[in-house]
Amino acid sequence: MTLHHTPGQIVTPEELRAVAADGTRLRYALMELAAQIPDAITLGRGDPDLNTPAHVIAAAQAAVRDGRADRMMPVAGLADLRQAVAANLHAQNGIPARPEEILITDGGQEALYLIMQTLLDPGDEILVPDPRYTSYDEAIHQAGARMVLVPTYPEDNFDLRPAEVEAAITPKTKAILIISPSNPTSGVVSPASVRAIAAIAQRHNLAVISDEIYEKYIYAPAQQLSMASLPGMFERTITLGGFSKTYAMTGWRVGYVAGPADFIERLTAVKAATTGPISAVSQYAALAAATGPQEIVAEYRATYQRRLERMKQGLRALGFTYSEPQGAFFVYTNAISSGIPAFELSYLLLKEGHVLIFPGTAFGEKWVDWLRISVLQPDELLDLALERMAGVLTRHRTEGIKP
């Protein structure tokens, strides 16, 4: 559904409810509304606001100047880039991937779609943590498979409980999805849980999809353990990663999949029949990111962590609670103290406060009291957003304004 309205007009909650059951469409509808507010502060989408590293941009420019960007790339990706990704996975994550076990994709979004279309058959079941990034819902549905939600809990910082995972398995279960760090919760699946789920996957002969797109942004004491690094797990694990979040390269559209060679070959065949190879310019930029200096990643991480602390302090002042962010750059916030359900509160904050925040229901229908707040804005805009939020809540409490 496209929301038709005149520029500057905020549509009603009723119109938004028409797409509310589809988390992805709801997010895009809210972004469409925010785009019509000139001074809107967007704390919704997870696109880094920091600049792509200068040496990465220089590498792309060099590829254009010397003609390398004019050449058609292999569908599986530039050989040097696949080698670099495999080397980094081995050195940094303990994943024993070889270049032929890597596919370069048009961002993580294409990667998740290709994985589901290749792995799942109609009638298969896949275990998915809840809340979750709902683009997975669509990809699973398109494959004709069934999503089985595995509950996670705020008191665990949304760690996956192995017992809940095993309890959800049926004879139709084909795979387990893990997203760590999580979008939307910023939770990290603990090493103990990763090991226990690996044993479950082996015991029931299941594949594991490990989405590690945010894995460079982990905050102590949380620790990241890659599923594919464990004994006997590379053969049954599909790892999804990318450059968008790590190097502030969202617009360059470079993701990757690592997995057993036969699966990567099948995945590549699907990509060849649909989108083909990704942009040569983006691949040379990603190669520079993968092989160049990495200090910038630590700088980005420090920036995000500082912003998270700033946001948490502001939320406490508003009387909100939250799950402790262990990774990524979101604060998953319980706003029940506002007295307004999250869906209506998101609309109210956008309409009255010009602050875009996604309701928890955009990541699972039961999260009616939760908001996902990103911190991908400079400090001064985060402060202004919190000030606007406080103003809206004060007016609501004193004047009884309603969405």
Q: In one letter, which amino acid is 295?
A: E
In the chain, where does the domain assigned CATH 3.90.1150.10 lie? Answer: 13-51+296-399
Confidence of residue 1 (pLDDT cuts 50, 70, 90): very low
On the question of pLDDT at 196 being above 50, the answer is: yes
Tokens of 25: 């469409």
Per-chain mean pLDDT for the chain: 93
Q: What pLDDT digit, counting tens, does each position of 3-28 carry?
A: 444 444 556 666 666 666 666 777 87
Give the per-residue pLDDT at 70.
87
Per-residue pLDDT, averaged over 50-60, amounts to 97
On the question of pLDDT at 402 being above 90, the answer is: no
On the question of pLDDT at 248 being above 60, the answer is: yes
Give the per-residue pLDDT at 27.
80
- Please identify which residue in the block is written with the tokens 């946001």: 311
On the question of pLDDT at 185 being above 90, the answer is: yes
CATH match for 13-51+296-399 among 3.40.50.2300, 3.40.47.10, 3.90.1150.10, 2.40.30.40: 3.90.1150.10
Task: Judge: domain 54-291, CATH 1.10.10.10.
Answer: no
Quick one: which of 217, 245, 222, 226 has its CA closest to 328?
217
Q: What pLDDT digit, counting tens, does each position of 27-47 carry?
A: 878 888 888 889 999 999 888
Cross-strand partners of 237: 208
Give the per-residue pLDDT at 5.
41
Q: What pLDDT digit, counting tens, does each position of 77-106 carry?
A: 999 999 999 999 999 999 999 999 999 999
Give the per-residue pLDDT at 173.
98
On the question of pLDDT at 327 being above 50, the answer is: yes
From residue 328, alpha-carbon distances to 9, 231, 305, 308, 362 in Å are 33, 27, 9, 10, 18
- Please report, in angstroms and rounded to a whole number, the separation of the first and last CA atoms in the chain: 22
Peptide bond into 131 cis (omega under 30): yes
In the chain, where does the domain assigned CATH 3.40.640.10 lie? Answer: 54-291
Q: What pLDDT digit, counting tens, does each position of 134-163 carry?
A: 889 999 999 999 999 999 999 999 999 999
The SS3 of residue 180 is coil
Helices (H), 143-190: 162-167
If one compares 12 and 374, the residue with the highest pLDDT of the two is: 374
Least confident of 173-177, 189-193, 211-215, 350-354: 350-354
Confidence of residue 171 (pLDDT cuts 50, 70, 90): very high
Tokens of 255: 């993701």
Query: Where is 272: in which H helix or E strand?
Result: helix 261-274
The SS3 of residue 105 is strand
Ramachandran class of 293: left when φ > 0, alpha when ψ lies in -120 to 50, beta otherwise = beta
